[in-house]
Amino acid sequence: MKNTKVYPIINILFFLLSLYVNFKSVTGGLGGKSIRELSDKYSNLFTPSNQTFAIWSLIYLLLTILLLSQFSKKLNNSVLNTPLFLVSCVLNFSWILFWQFEFIGISLLVMMGLLGCLGVINFKLQDQKQWLLKVPFGIYLGWICIATIANVTTFLQSIQINITASAQQIISMAIIVTGTGIIAGVMSKTKNPFLSIAAAWAFSGIYSKRIDDYPSIAYLAITCGVIIFLLGVRQTYKLFKPTN
């Protein structure tokens, strides 16, 4: 009983701390550079357009609604009444802190931890049909899957591995296809179709950024985005269709 009363408050406090760190990173209050400036500094062919990162606003809005709903008896709090969410908050602001001070390798490791934590949360929710739980954690996990792949590429760039332009293009296309397969697999295992929203959005961002200089990458990205979105629509129907 104590946990059911304590966790909602702790979750909100750690979430607010995450929001604060995110706000400081956007405004350049951490390390003297904004997160956008650092993203531009380490830009690679897998990095989507800057406006794509606005999905963080949607993720935080959905999580805010979810946390405010913790106090409703209608919500199944089997995940929120465990340390998992607050751990995800700690990992969230930790990777941002390391990123802002350009500890790229450590930031990547922390993000992998966040990916694992969100994966566990989604696995625990795989038999849930409450939209309030499935949607925010699904989109969150989908975006972190893409962000982790992008940060692996960024890390390789940061250690100055010399790769020719043509090789970079081939590697980026391979990463897009691999990322599509990973998202499809995780979406199937967690029974959460909402991962597809974040993935399709990210691929559309790659398309808009690369259509002029790397059209082959752009068309592959948008094709994979459409495929993953349609897989998500199909799984949504299977998950929420009425049973006789």
Which string of DSSP letters, residue by residue, matches 197-237? HHHHHHHHHHHHHHTTT-HHHHHHHHHHHHHHHHHHHHHHH
Distances (CA, A) of 11 to 16, 19, 63, 125, 139: 9, 12, 10, 18, 19
Comparing C-alpha atoms, which of 163, 177, 186 is closest to residue 227? 177
Residue 3's pLDDT is: 59
**Helices assigned H by DSSP within the chain:** 2-27, 35-41, 55-68, 84-100, 104-124, 131-158, 165-190, 195-210, 215-240
Q: How confident is the model at residue 232 (pLDDT cuts 50, 70, 90)?
A: very high
pLDDT at residue 207 greater than cutoff 50: yes
**For residue 220, what pLDDT band results from cuts at 50, 70 and 90?**
very high
pLDDT of residue 209: 92
Note the pLDDT of residue 27. Answer: 83
Residue pLDDT, tens place only, 42-95? 878 888 988 899 999 999 999 999 999 888 777 767 788 889 999 999 999 999
Q: What is the pLDDT of residues 135-176, one digit of tens each?
A: 999 999 999 999 999 898 888 877 877 777 788 889 899 999
Residue 4 clears pLDDT 70, i.e. is over it = no
As a whole-number percent, the residues of the chain with pLDDT over 70 amount to 96
Reported as a pLDDT band with limits 50, 70 and 90, residue 244 is: low
pLDDT beyond 60 at 2: no
Instruction: Give pLDDT, residue 135.
Output: 94
pLDDT for residue 203:
96
Which pLDDT band, with edges at 50, 70 and 90, does 243 fall under?
low
Kindly report, residue by residue over 116-143, the tens digit of the pLDDT. Answer: 999 999 999 888 778 888 999 999 999 9
pLDDT at 106: 95
pLDDT value, residue 132: 86
Q: Which has the minimum average pLDDT: 90-94, 111-115, 234-238?
A: 234-238
pLDDT at res. 5: 74
Are the C-beta atoms of residues 3 and 70 closer than 8 Å to each other? no
